[in-house]
Homo-oligomer: A and B are copies of this chain.
Amino acid sequence: MNKRPTLEAVAARAGVSRATASRVVNGQATVAPAIRDAVQQAIDDLGYVPNSAARSLVTQRTDSIALVVSEPPTRVFSEDPLFSTVIRTASVELESADKQVVLMLASSAKSHARVERYIAGGHVDGVMLISMHGADPLPAALSRLRVPVVSYGRPAVPVDIPYVDNDNVGGAELAVRHLVSTGRRRIATIAGPQDMIGGQDRLTGYRNVLRDSDRRSIVAVGDFTRESGATAMRQLLQDDPALDAVFVANDLMAVGALQSLRQAGRRVPDDVAVVGFDDIEAAKYTEPPLTTIRHPIFEQSATMVRLLLTLFDNGVAEPVILPTELVIRDSA
């Protein structure tokens, strides 16, 4: 392990002072072209790369931000394609802003403490919080640390941090209104977990439309996994064998629901219409392909990054709600 060259070495080789070498490295304009070239040459010769620890010790910046994924205790999200899409998109965006991404998982209370300690330790300049469940104390805790924080999805407890969310209520209304307008009478729903904002809001949207259209609500609750969707669908068929439509709060559960419907001998959409939510890639490949609600997930991630950068610059940033759209395929 040959030692890495320091600024000192570069300066010596170029025959200038450390300060001047530093100026060149940081692109300051007050260096004569000839000297700049000499230093640059020395940098190239030596393969110099600034030591970030030393740099951030003095600048008090780290140029890295934490991506905190706060999962519910049930480890259900590893399969959710939204999870990786958000992480990837956010990473790409942050990298183009020259920020490093430190990924932190916060599931247990222990890891919660770890995350708080880490962030309090000043390792990162800001935090992007992907909080999955409502009772999460993390948004409030981080907000208290006076570190710039933005949230993916509206925080459940009202706390003053900017967030990006999609219009869950509006999207659910879109879905259910579609079922109503195609003449469905007995419209059930498989709701998401009620300790998640997304779960709550999508159920609210469902209820809004049913109320207005004078229909009875038929509700089962899942936890956003395929498995729970399958179970909930069986339950629903038992509760009301005559149901002719179901709005499922996410596509993953809809996949499970389709399976249960198939096993129960119901044809989709002839006997039962199904509408999902999210428009994941897999929705195109179900049997039949799934009618669903699309929300702009790439844009949502990108917006979150923009929000954080704005927060760095201005100290404030406004929440953003993105619109949803109905994608009609064969299931409804």
Q: Which residues of A contact B (CB under 8 A)?
A: 1-2, 4, 47, 49-54, 56-57, 62, 64, 67, 78-79, 81, 83-85, 87-88, 91-92, 95, 100-105, 111, 114, 117-118, 120-123, 146, 226, 230, 255-256, 258-259, 262, 280-282, 284-285, 287
Contacts and interface: CB of A to CB of B under 8 A. Distances in A.
Given A52-B122, A101-B104, A111 B84 contact: no
A162 B243 CA distance: 56
A331 to B, nearest CB: 13
Contacts of A2: 146
Dominant SS at the A interface?
Answer: helix
A103 B79 contact: no
A91 B78 contact: no
Given A87-B87, A104-B101, A285 B262 contact: no
Given A52-B123, A84-B87, 20 more contacts: A50-B121, A51-B122, A52-B122, A53-B54, A67-B103, A78-B81, A78-B88, A79-B81, A79-B281, A87-B87, A87-B103, A91-B103, A95-B105, A95-B111, A100-B118, A102-B102, A226-B281, A226-B282, A282-B282, A287-B287
